[in-house]
Amino acid sequence: MSKIFVFGHQNPDTDAIGSSYAFAHLARQAYSLDAEVVALGEPNEETRFALDYFGVQAPRVVESAQAEGVNTVILTDHNEFQQSISDISQVTIYGVVDHHRVANFETANPLFMRVEPVGSASSIVYRMFKENNLEVSREIAGLLLSGLISDTLLLKSPTTHTTDHKVAQELAELAGVSLEEYGMNLLKAGTNLASKSEAELIDIDAKTFELNGNAVRVAQVNTVDIKEVLERQEALEGAILEAMAKEGYSDFVLMITDIVNSNSEILALGSNMDKVEKAFNFVLENNHAFLEGAVSRKKQVVPQLTESFGA
């Protein structure tokens, strides 16, 4: 079989990079596939911390598979087409490894698909290594651990599955790190927001969701000080409005998450603010509102918006 690209979603986070890097190794060893890990964007600061810590080179960034002479792909940490490579509808999807909802997804041929309600795609890939009796190197263990820590906020997010605790402990041992110490250092690396422009902030970790005919952009930034981020509200709103006009989003929801106290502030703009307010049972004041206990976009924001927009 010719070369296969393995990649996570656009605006890749640590789980997208870690799971795709590891799965490309697994695909070569277990299935004898000519798999190459690539990325659909540059790694963020948190991910760079993990890559540098474990001495792994960042995957090269591509925009189109066919432009690289590749017609077959494997997706990790996503399945929705609007979050994937630009020519996803023109290539063959060989397989998917994901932990999100399945939506806007259709293929012409059967595929290998593994979707589980666990804390990260990295959790699934690690268990696939074990199922195939493959050795997990320190580098792979470190990236998979980083993906799990990132997506579950060090196992504190409601998306954390009971099995993720054991996976985290095993990966930490294989990676030779303290789970708590390394985990907090990783998360803190992703909260260095001062050097980023407002346009960069709203695009660090952002995904587009098709909700009842509306293109809703849901972004998330992690911080240790929500107030500090809100001090940039006027400039953030300017960047959001510019992105909406350019990309055609009907609504933009920015989740500003306090990783220490496990709460979020929601900053929202768009044509369906009544639906956003209904989703979270709050009232936006000056375009933002506090959402107590919310840290997970996947479990505490997107399902609520989906239900509200569908009503």
Confirm whether residue 98 is marked as ligand binding.
no
Confirm whether residue 99 is marked as ligand binding.
yes
Confirm whether residue 77 is marked as ligand binding.
yes
Task: Give the C-alpha separation, 223 to 188, whole Å.
Answer: 8
List of residues 6+ apart from 229 with CB closer than 8 A: 193, 201, 221, 223, 236, 256, 265
Confirm whether residue 288 is marked as ligand binding.
no
List of residues 6+ apart from 232 with CB closer than 8 A: 198, 201
**DSSP code string of 94-150:** EEEEESS---S---SS--EEEE--SS-HHHHHHHHHHHTT----HHHHHHHHHHHHH
**DSSP code string of 207-264:** EEEEETTEEEEEEEEEES-HHHHHTTHHHHHHHHHHHHHHHT-SEEEEEEEETTTTEE
Confirm whether residue 9 is marked as ligand binding.
yes
- Do the Cβ atoms of 71 and 92 come closer than 8 Å? yes
Annotation: binding site for Mn(2+) = 9, 13, 15, 77, 99, 151
Annotation: binding site = 9, 13, 15, 77, 99, 151
